[in-house]
Amino acid sequence: MKTKLVLAVSAAAFLSACTTDPYTGQQRISNTAGGAALGALGGAALGTLAGGDDRRNALIGAGIGALAGGSIGVYMDRQEAELRAQLQGSGVSVTRVGNDIVLNMPSNITFDTDRADLKPQFYDTLNSVALVLKKFNQSLVDVNGHTDSTGSDSYNLDLSQRRAQSVYSYLVSQGNNPRRFYVRGMGETQPIADNSTEYGRAANRRVEIKIVPLSQ
């Protein structure tokens, strides 16, 4: 009960930091108030959101139907197609792994060096992701933060957690169900490139979103 209250209060604080763009009708974050609320909501998320089985049971219990059989592949095909269309030219890669979809968001478009607050120009990209996630709500969403190997293990773990929380918090602020999400920082433990080169370190600094079908 206490966890639910913290999430509710933090979400309310985050939403109060948003304003509506008069031209697009989309919500935007106040740079000052939004940063504080992001931290509050993100901090509440880590360690309280459950793994796959618990999330699946909670969503099914709330009336969101689970996918089964051949409908899983078809559903994820449609979701993948919409994500590719929405994210074309954004710098975010869309990769299909079986029935899962992985979005790789590199640091050059998401965060400044050594920071965990979202770059303002990244809001539009996350708005596109949020729209597709809301439309295809029969899926679970893992948000994983990653860093390069520069700095201590503990510092990198903390930074990766805060970055993952920032992405999660923004997606929830756009109307996505927080019960779908699992948020975690991986630090430097899962590099995808060589940390001995600047190119490799830049590739390793990223946030990945893994979208998994809500299946029976």
Determine how many CB atoms are found less than 10 A away from the CB of residue 118.
Answer: 25
Domains present along the chain, CATH in parentheses: 51-213 (3.30.1330.60)
**How many angstroms separate the Cα of 171 from the Cα of each of 88, 133, 154, 174?**
19, 9, 26, 5
The mean pLDDT value of the chain amounts to 83
Beta strands in the chain (DSSP E): 18-20, 27-29, 93-97, 100-106, 139-146, 181-185, 206-213
Two structure tokens written together for 133:
């996630």
Two structure tokens written together for 187:
């630090």
Q: What is the pLDDT of residue 183?
A: 97
Prediction pTM value? 0.77
Q: What is the pLDDT of residue 20?
A: 46
Which of the residues in the chain have pLDDT under 50? Answer: 1-17, 19-48
